[in-house]
Structure 1
Amino acid sequence: TAPGAPPGWYPDPDSERQWRVWTGERWSTLTRPYGPSAPIPSPVEALTVLRALHHVRRSGVAATFAGLGLLVSSLAYWPGRAHALGPRSAIIGLDVALALVTWGTVANAVALRALRGRWGLVTVAPGLNALALRATLALERDAPSARPLVAIQALAIALFAALAPRAPWLAI
């Protein structure tokens, strides 16, 4: 600190992690530590989170919602209904839908567990865990602009769930 600076606590000029008092003319011998340093996350923990988020970005959310759409569509055109698919096509559609929902749910659950550090009912609920993941990421980044997006996505899913039984073309 240059001469003429007001007296007070300043970072120690000797490059130690502490504060030192400047008397207004010279450095005193009075010091105190900065405080506890922030814990550094282990590289393994950080890598686990990054790997989980990478899988979700690549396939988790898309697989979940594509699977849910295909599931609704398969059930809407199930044999015995108007405009039904053949039994083989219906079963294949249902199997693919369940596989996609399972894959997406697992990818989202692993990422959500890595971010939150715990399992829960929301963590394993198909579709709901994708929304919880989006909300958790928005809160972690403290991104208020992402919060309305989460609400819009939740509303879109609710509308889809309400309208899909009456309008199966929505699942296409």
Structure 2
Amino acid sequence: MTRLMSSLSRPARPRPALSYREVGATRTPADLPEGYHHLRYSAVVGHGRAAFEAAGAAVTTWRMHRATGARLLADADRAAPGVTVEISAGLGPLRLGAPCAVIWTAHEEQRVGFAYGTLTGHPECGEESFMVHLEPDGTVRFAVTAFSRPTVWYTRLAGPVVPLLQREYARMLGRTLRRLVRT
């Protein structure tokens, strides 16, 4: 009886809230909100329908992120609206976590991917999309679109270094996805 009572009396943890207002803005990359650093990156990762499908699966099942060496914890095996994700980098107690929630997904004939937005507790606020496009000539292109700004002292202190690190991570994702598509 005591065990039953203690499990019933535990309060549910409140879900962290999104930490920015412009939810869904990465859906139209040409119109990113003002007041944020903008990132637009794209890379060719393959050619043909099979490469497109392999790239789309690697992006939407977290395989691409995990293959970079980042630790990724998600409450689902595939990106879907509402799924929470925490990506962290570093070693041991020096690991920095970045909680996010998937905002939107695309599973279309020529376009597959998702966007996640930052949750309270993330060192930045904003949104980032990871898309795979099948172009008319069969080229498979991976694109990252993001807008973000610092929310904590250490990302503010890092100043222009943070956007450089974000661009390098986008490049690493592109190289990783290209490798995954080839294998």
TM over 0.5: no
Q: Which has the higher strand share?
A: 2
TM class by shorter-chain length?
A: under 0.3
Q: Which has the higher helix share?
A: 1
Give me the TM-score of the superposition, normalised by structure 2. 0.27
